[in-house]
Chain A
Amino acid sequence: MTDEIHASGANQAEQHERLRRILLPVAVLVLGVVLWDLVVRINAIPPFVLPGPGLVFGTLIADWGILWASLLVTLETTVAGFLLAVAGGIGLAVLFNQSRALEHALYPYAVILQVTPVVAIAPLLLIYLPQQAAVLACAWIVAFFPVLANTTLGLNSVDHNLVALFELYGAKRRQVLWYLKLPAALPQILGGLRIAGGLSLIGAVVAEIAAGSAGAGSGLAYRIAESGYRLNIPRMFAALILLSVAGIIIYFALALMSHLMLRHWHESAVRREV
Chain B
Amino acid sequence: MTATFAGTPLVIIHSVGKTFANGVVALDNLDLDVREGEFLSLLGPSGCGKSTALRIIAGLSEPTAGRVEWRAGAGARRQIGFVFQEPTLMPWATVSDNVRLPLKLRGESGADSAPRVQEALDRVGLAAFAGAYPRELSGGMKMRVSIARALVTQPTLLLMDEPFAALDEITRFRLNDDLLALWRALGKTIVFVTHSVFESVFLSSRIVVMTRRPGRVFTELAVDAPHLRDARFRTSAEYAALCRMASEALAGAMGDA
Say whether, besides A264-B133, A265-B133, A270-B135, A169 and B101 are in contact (CB < 8 Å).
yes
- Interface segment, one of A101-109, A175-183, A233-241: A175-183
Asked if A34 lies at the interface with its beta carbon under 8 angstroms from chain B, I say no
Residue B241 interfacial (CB < 8 Å):
no
Contact B60 A164 (CB under 8 A): yes
- Binding site secondary structure of chain A: helix
Residues 84 to 136 of chain B near chain A (Cβ within 8 Å): 84-86, 88, 90-93, 101-102, 104-106, 133-135
Does B90 lie within 8 Å of A180, measured CB to CB? yes
Main secondary structure of the interface of B (DSSP, over half): loop
Please give me the residue from chain A that is nearest to B80 by CB atom. Answer: A168
- The CA of A161 and the CA of B89, in the complex, are separated in Å by 9
Q: Range of interface residues on chain A?
A: 20 to 34
User: What total count of A-B pairs have CB within 8 Å?
Assistant: 52
Q: Are the CB atoms of B86 and A170 closer together than 8 Å?
A: no
Docked Cα-Cα span, A226 to B20, in Å, equals: 68
Any A CB within 8 A of the CB of B164:
no
Name the residue of chain B whose CB is nearest to the CB of A2.
B136
B106 touches which one: A169, A264, A267 (CB < 8 A)? A169
B91 and A169 contact, CB distance less than 8 A? no
Cβ A161 vs Cβ B92 within 8 A:
no
**Cα–Cα, bound, A161→B82 (Å):** 11
Is B25 an interface residue when CB atoms closer than 8 A count as contact? no
Q: Which residues of B contact A79 (CB under 8 A)?
A: none
Q: Closest approach, in angstroms, between the C-beta of A202 and any C-beta of chain B?
A: 32
Query: Are A265 and B134 touching (Cβ within 8 A)?
Result: yes
Within 8 A of B (CB), among A183-204: 183-184, 186
Q: Is A167 in contact with chain B by the CB < 8 A criterion?
A: yes
Q: Answer whether residue B59 sits at the interface, using C-beta atoms and an 8 A cutoff.
A: yes
Determine the distance from Cα of A266 to Cα of B153 in the docked complex, in whole angstroms: 28
Which residues in window 41-62 of B have CB below 8 A to A? Answer: 55, 58-60
Interface of B toward A, CB cutoff 8 Å: 55, 58-60, 80, 82, 84-86, 88, 90-93, 101-102, 104-106, 133-135, 153
